[in-house]
Amino acid sequence: MKLLVTGASGFIGTNFVDHFGKLDCELLNLDIQKPLNSGHEKFWKRADIMNPVELAAAFAEFAPTHVVHMAARAECDETTTVEEGYSANTVGTENVLNAIKKTLSIERAIIVSTQYVCGPGRLPENDEDYFPHTVYGQSKVITEQLTRKADLSCIWTLVRPTNIWGPWHLRYRREAWRVIKKGLYLHPTGAPVVRSYGYVGNIVWQMEQILKAPAEKVNRQIFYVGDRPIDIYEWVDAFSMILRGRHARKIPRFILRMIGLVGDAAGLVRIKFPLTSSRVRSMTQDYLTPMDKTFETFGAPPCSLMQGVEKTVCWLEEQEG
């Protein structure tokens, strides 16, 4: 296998390269940024998916048999538009698809989308039942539509990662895990809040299965990648018990909403505050994704919740040590 990955210098990509770099395959990471893990620089070539000439040349030179396209702007920014803020996810993806079409050596391709193409509230009725609730999600709807229209001659699969966590997630390290470790995290009481989370090692494993599976199981298919939906308190509490030896604290929802309002007011005067009304809504709203198809096709992924938490905490300790 000659595996070309776009955008593998970030969080998911770092875990992807760490896994596939140990296998019997040639690996190339095309990214405008250096890898987060300096040990991965031997797999890295600087390339911009917004430059179609440069991109096509890199594809032609490497002549991959397999491609995973994960280069994208992934953070949510509601102050911009798809055209102004997320062209990497639309124009950039179109450039990648064109490069795939021109590279005759390619046998399979995975195009990475997101669960955000369908917002919370209900499950999608079919693969093209889109109802994004963020600008980022809107951009990834276009990613999927472009992929369907590209008429690729190779086997192709779209994947929708859920809320992915694990080693090399720098924002979670800076925000969620640091807050949990300090005992500052407050979880809403009442009914469980059920969400689809995914340990990064498990989604890398799931993408590996897609690259290896019989064509009839994966060609022109969409798979959500991640773990089965859980009460997010289980996730938070697992980290809390390991990081501080205590259960995560719970408080009534109305108090949490009041704290969120304080955060909103602080934001108006440009004071950073860990909790806002938007964050409170996210903490108290179910967000389910249809994972059954993935589990029925590939089976259960290798890491349990606790195994993923333990591996992540080991990484955190290494980074702080």
- At 319, list the tokens: 């980074």
How confident is the model at residue 271, as a pLDDT?
85
* Dihedral pair phi/psi, residue 229, rounded to 5°: -55, 145
Establish how many alpha carbons lie within 13 A of residue 231's alpha carbon, considering only the half-sphere containing its beta carbon.
10
Query: Domain 2-161, CATH 3.40.50.720 — does that match?
Result: yes
Contact 301, 291 (CB under 8 A): no
Contact 40, 29 (CB under 8 A): yes
How confident is the model at residue 70, as a pLDDT?
97
How confident is the model at residue 321, as a pLDDT?
67
Question: Using the 8-state DSSP alphabet, how is residue 154 labeled?
Answer: S
Contact 57, 4 (CB under 8 A): no
Reported as type and span, the H/E element at residue 4 is: strand 2-6
Contact 106, 67 (CB under 8 A): yes
**Residues 6 or more apart from 200 whose CB is under 8 A from it?**
11, 12, 15, 164, 165, 166, 167, 168, 169, 308
- Provide the residue ranges of all domains of the chain, joining segments of one domain with +: 2-161, 170-194+229-321
pTM of the model: 0.94
How confident is the model at residue 153, as a pLDDT?
95
d(CA 253, CA 61): 56
H-state helical runs in 117-231: 135-149, 170-174, 176-181, 200-212, 215-218
Mean pLDDT for back-to-back runs of 10 residues, the chain (321 residues) = 96 97 94 96 97 96 98 87 94 97 97 97 96 96 97 97 96 92 92 95 98 97 97 96 96 92 88 83 90 97 97 94 67
